[in-house]
Amino acid sequence: MDLLFPPLGAGRPATGAPLLSLGEARLDAAALGAAVHAAARLLEAEGLTEGEPVLIEVGGDAENLLAVLPALLAVMELGAVAVPHAGKLGHRALAHLRADTAARLRVGRAAAEGSPLTGLCTLEPARLREAASEGSRRGGALRRALDDRPCLMLYTSGTTGSPKGVPHSPAGLAANLDALARAWAWGEATPVVHALPLFHVHGLVLGLFGGLRHGGGLLHLPRFEPGALARAVGERRGMLFSVPTMLHRLVEAGREDPGIGEALGRARRLISGSAPLPRRMHAAVEALCGQPVFERYGLTESAINCAVRVEDGPDPGFVGPPLPGVELKLVADDGLSEVPSDGESLGEVWVRGPSVMRGYHGQEAASAKVLLAGWLKTGDIAARRADGSVRLVGRRSVDLIKSGGYRIGAGEVEAALLELPGVAEVAVVGVADDDLGQRIEAFVVPAPGARPDPAALIQGVAEALSPHQRPRAVHLRDELPRNAMGKVQKKLLLD
């Protein structure tokens, strides 16, 4: 039977090579397998049922993650649905996650007093560590077949409203990871190194699941620091997974510290994704370390769609052709016809394939808006060369912001701001930023007689949603520019 994570399957010889490295800790296949089994036994003892969602807090330090990640894998192996979330998720976002999943169980640190997670049955890291140290590989885990039932649900923002859950299945994930392995010659000799968060496609699916599935493993740094990341990639001769903001900071830090360029130069491959990497950054990274960057393009709703193939060589400005098994077309404004692949004509990217979601969790209307006969309307605008390579040029909506590689819905931030004292009206925009790609800024009309403190509003969003969704600047205004219909003219705010 084909498994999602073959190196964890019973009967495989333990090589002793690290499969999961966190901080100073190194787990080989046998040690990780034992930790997953131990977590599975605890989950079974809590009465975990097939298809049940389990909230998993993938935050904190290396020690914490070392306990939590095997539990995440165990949830998937037992036929339930892992729902990872940030350790710093705010109260509004947590309340939504709890309500939307109707979860009964969670894995993570004890909920703080008054937390929306209070009352859920909780498996804490200390308990997981204790169970793992008891050893013994009993229990029914590590046998998840490549079926179509959800094993993972990732939450992502839309232009309006609260985040929506995107279910993924083992069959879809495996197809995606196997296609990427061919594009990047990614096998057990290629460890992944990254400092990405573990609640998104990039860090979790590609980094952790890819490292496990292809056998090279993952070295994860829970905190991004340019020098430490460069050294780790160089020492392991690993494949760096990064977002453009990280490459920008590596280049900046490399100006002061020549060791960064030397270490990056020893990497097996440099990969960037989640947001556009400007051509000048491709050039700056290559000047720093002598290595080209390969880009790939994906969405929470589809996993990875396109990747520049190693055999084709680097292709700055392009995200590569569709992966094997992915159908891609560029659709004109009429929503019907396809634009020609002439390198210039622009259309919306539609994709179809095994890893494209079947629909958002419990959201029929929202799903129908973006899905048509299996095609996902991505909202991304692109041109395509005759050889199939795709060049992304922007997004359909200004209300989906990409900041530091995080996807942030303007509507969610606006709703959080409107709940704060002294705020009458608000408009949130993404402003071009050399480091973050886009920087969130908020324009706020105070309530009559009020004078809200911008710093308090920024803090309020960080605490309600998460730190990365906070505006980097808040501007107080007497009124917002509106058209004759009363709709806020965000483009005028960006001028």
Nearer to ligand AMP, 5 or 297 (CB): 297
- Beta pairing partners, 24: none
Nearer to ligand MLC, 16 or 394 (CB): 394
Side-chain-side CA neighbours of residue 313 (13 Å):
0
Nearer to ligand MLC, 245 or 291 (CB): 245
* Minimum distance from residue 420 beta carbon to ligand MLC (Å): 13
Give the pairing of strands 152-156 and 121-123.
unpaired
* Minimum distance from residue 405 beta carbon to ligand MLC (Å): 3
Is 410 an interacting residue with respect to ligand AMP (CB under 6 A)?
no
Would you call 26 helix, strand, or coil by DSSP?
strand
User: 226-236 and 244-256 helices cross at what angle (nearest 10)?
Assistant: 100
Partner from ligand MLC, ligand AMP, none binding residue 295, C-beta < 5-8 Å depending on class: ligand AMP
Is 319 an interacting residue with respect to ligand AMP (CB under 6 A)?
yes
Binding mask 185-204 for ligand AMP (x = CB under 6 A): ----------------x---
Nearer to ligand MLC, 267 or 464 (CB): 464
> Rule CB under 6 A: which residues touch ligand MLC?
88, 196-197, 200-203, 223-224, 243, 245-246, 273-274, 298-299, 404-406, 458-459, 462, 467-468, 470
* Minimum distance from residue 257 beta carbon to ligand AMP (Å): 27
Report the distance separating Cα 67 and Cα 109, nearest Å: 11
* Minimum distance from residue 403 beta carbon to ligand MLC (Å): 7
Decide: 33 and 137 in contact? Cβ < 8 Å.
yes
Query: Which residues have a Cβ under 8 Å from the Cβ of 113 and sit 6 or more positions away?
Result: none
* Minimum distance from residue 130 beta carbon to ligand AMP (Å): 35
Q: Within a 10 A sphere around the Cβ of 47, how many other Cβ atoms?
A: 10
Nearer to ligand AMP, 169 or 300 (CB): 300
Which stretch, 51-59, 274-282, 422-430, 444-452, contacts ligand AMP (CB under 6 A)? Answer: 274-282
* Minimum distance from residue 321 beta carbon to ligand MLC (Å): 16
Which stretch, 187-195, 260-268, 298-306, 326-334, contacts ligand AMP (CB under 6 A)? Answer: 298-306
Which residue do the tokens 């050889």 mark? 387
Query: Which residues have a Cβ under 8 Å from the Cβ of 279 and sit 6 or more positions away?
Result: 316, 317
Which stretch, 5-13, 174-182, 191-199, 272-280, contacts ligand AMP (CB under 6 A)? Answer: 272-280
Would you call 292 helix, strand, or coil by DSSP?
coil
Side-chain-side CA neighbours of residue 371 (13 Å):
18
Outline where DSSP puts E strands in 252-395: 269-272, 293-299, 303-307, 327-331, 347-352, 371-372, 375-384, 390-395
The phi and psi torsions of 449 (rounded to 5 degrees) equal: 80, -5
- Beta pairing partners, 383: 391
Side-chain-side CA neighbours of residue 149 (13 Å):
13
Nearer to ligand AMP, 289 or 319 (CB): 319
What is the CA angle 466-299-431, rounded to 5? 55
Instruction: Give the residue, chosen from 348, 380, 399, 412, that forms a contact with ligand AMP under the rule CB under 6 A.
Output: 380
Is 396 an interacting residue with respect to ligand AMP (CB under 6 A)?
no
Q: How is residue 19 written in tokens?
A: 């499969």
Is 52 an interacting residue with respect to ligand AMP (CB under 6 A)?
no
Would you call 433 helix, strand, or coil by DSSP?
strand
Give the pairing of strands 293-299 and 303-307.
antiparallel
Partner from ligand AMP, ligand MLC, none binding residue 115, C-beta < 5-8 Å depending on class: none
Nearer to ligand AMP, 201 or 267 (CB): 201
Distances in Å between the Cα of 475 and the Cα atoms of 53, 391, 431, 432, 454 are 40, 34, 13, 16, 7
Nearer to ligand AMP, 254 or 316 (CB): 316
Q: Within a 10 A sphere around the Cβ of 342, how many other Cβ atoms?
A: 10
Instruction: Give the residue, chosen from 156, 169, 367, 466, that forms a contact with ligand AMP under the rule CB under 6 A.
Output: 156
Is 389 an interacting residue with respect to ligand AMP (CB under 6 A)?
no
Is 297 an interacting residue with respect to ligand AMP (CB under 6 A)?
yes
* Minimum distance from residue 458 beta carbon to ligand MLC (Å): 6
Partner from ligand AMP, ligand MLC, none binding residue 493, C-beta < 5-8 Å depending on class: none
Decide: 21 and 217 in contact? Cβ < 8 Å.
yes
Is 378 an interacting residue with respect to ligand AMP (CB under 6 A)?
yes
Closest residue to ligand MLC, judged by C-beta, is 404
Helices then strands, counting H and E runs in the chain, come out as 14, 24
Is 408 an interacting residue with respect to ligand AMP (CB under 6 A)?
no
Instruction: Give the residue, chosen from 101, 162, 245, 300, that forms a contact with ligand AMP under the rule CB under 6 A.
Output: 300
Partner from ligand AMP, ligand MLC, none binding residue 462, C-beta < 5-8 Å depending on class: ligand MLC
Residues near ligand AMP (CB under 6 A): 156, 201, 273-276, 295, 297-300, 319, 378, 380, 392, 395, 402, 407
